[in-house]
Structure 1
Amino acid sequence: MELLLETVALFSLKLAYETEDQSPILRDDLMMSDYEREVFGLLVRRGDVETIQAKVDECVGLALEAIGGVDKPLGRELQRLAGEFASIQTIKQLDGPLVALKVYLQDIQ
């Protein structure tokens, strides 16, 4: 799950900050420091769903802004998927909505 969380954060930050004329954003970039696999791993082990959701929400919010917000079709779907993820209450329930977010973010890159 930690890898999925890190990937969602990475794809979100790529949408928000990566441009064609720059080098690509990578997992070891400074902007990923709060969203590293180890950080998410600690939160997963603690069962801290609320903090995990807050971190993912930060990244997805940046991506949502980058694609034009909820007034655009891509933004409405991203908001819907993020809402499903935000409504989860246990670690075990995070997988499905997290995979859906990852796949969607990857598709709209």
Structure 2
Amino acid sequence: MELLLETVALFCLKLAYETEGSSPILRDDPIMSDYEREVFGLLVRRGDVEGIQFRVAHCVGLALDALGGVDTPLGRELHRLSADLSNARTLEQFGAPLIELKDYLKDIQ
């Protein structure tokens, strides 16, 4: 799950900060320091659902702004998918929404 969470964060930050012609954002980029696999791993081991949701929501918010907000078709879909994740109450409930969110972010890169 940690890798999946890190991937979602990476794709969100790529949407928010990566510009054409610049160096791509990678997993070891300083911007990823709060969203590394180890950080998510610690939250997962603690069972900190709210902490995970907070970090993912922050990244999704940045991506949503980059897409023009919820008034755009891409933004509405991103918002819908992130809402599914924010409604999860246990780590086990993160599975499907997290995969759908990752796949969507990958597709719109």
1:45 maps to what in 2? Answer: 45
2:64 maps to what in 1? Answer: 64
2:20 is paired with a residue of what secondary structure?
coil
Q: 1:1-109 counterparts in 2 under 5 A? A: 1-109=1-109
Residues 74-96 of structure 1 deviation map (CA, whole Å, 9 limit, x = unaligned)? 00000000000000000111011
1:41 is paired with a residue of what secondary structure?
helix
Instruction: Give percent identity, aligned residues only.
Output: 72
* Structure 2 gap segments, 5+ residues each: none
1:28 is paired with a residue of what secondary structure?
coil
Residues 25-79 of structure 1 deviation map (CA, whole Å, 9 limit, x = unaligned)? 0000000000000000000010000000000000000000001100100000000
Letter aligned with residue 50 of structure 1: E
What is the alpha-carbon root mean square deviation over aligned residues? 0.4
Residues matched between the structures, number = 109
Structure 1 position 9, deviation (Å): 0.1
Letter aligned with residue 46 of structure 1: R
Structure 1 position 21, deviation (Å): 1.6
State how far apart, in whole Å, the 2-side matches of 1:55 and 1:101 are. 14
Letter aligned with residue 71 of structure 1: D
1:19 is paired with a residue of what secondary structure?
coil
Segments of 4+ moved more than 6 angstroms: none
2:28 is paired with a residue of what secondary structure?
coil
* Structure 1 gap segments, 5+ residues each: none
Letter aligned with residue 6 of structure 1: E
